[in-house]
Amino acid sequence: MIAAAVSAVLLTGCSGANPDAEPDASMPADHSGRAVYVGDIDASAASIWLQVDDETLNGAVCQDARPSMRFDPTATKEGKAALAYGGTVVGTVSIATDEAVGTVELSGKKHRFRAKTADVLGDVCGRT
C-alpha cells in the first residue's frame, strides 16, 4: 500500500520551469520523463509493460506472471521506439501522454497492443 502511494507521488511529478508551456503529447504522463505503461497484447495470453525513463525505454512481454521476453534498452525519439530482443527488432511503439500503442512479434506473428499508464515503477510482470 505504501509502495503504491510512493509510486503515485513519483509519477505525479511537476510541471517544470514553465508552467504555461503546452504539454508535449509524446512525453509520459508525469512530464518529468518517467512513466510505466501496462496492457494486454491482442490475440494472445501475454501482456506488456514498458517503462520510459527520460528518453530510455525498457520493458518486457509477460506470460504466466513472468517476463518471457525482456526488450533491449533503447532510446525513444519523438515518442517512438523500436522494440528489440537480442538485437533483433520485434516490434514498434508510439508513446503518448496516457498510453503506448504498438506491435510486437510473438511466435512469428505480429500482435497489436495498447498499454495505459500505471501507478508503479519498475518491472510489473506478476503484479495485479
Domain encompassing residue 47? 2-13+24-118
Q: Which amino acid is at 8?
A: A
Does any domain span residue 128? no
User: Across 1-128, where does the E strand assignment appear?
Assistant: 34-40, 47-53, 56-63, 66-70, 74-75, 80-85, 88-95, 99-106, 109-118
Spatial CA neighbour of 42 closest among 118, 97, 106:
106
End-to-end CA distance of the chain: 13
Q: What is the pLDDT of residues 2-61, one digit of tens each?
A: 333 323 322 322 223 333 334 344 444 443 578 899 999 999 999 999 999 888 999 999
- Number of structural domains, the chain? 1
- The answer to whether residue 127 is domain-embedded is no
The CATH number linked to 43 is 2.40.160
pTM above 0.75, yes or no: no
Identify whether 54 is part of a domain.
yes
Q: Is residue 59 part of a domain?
A: yes
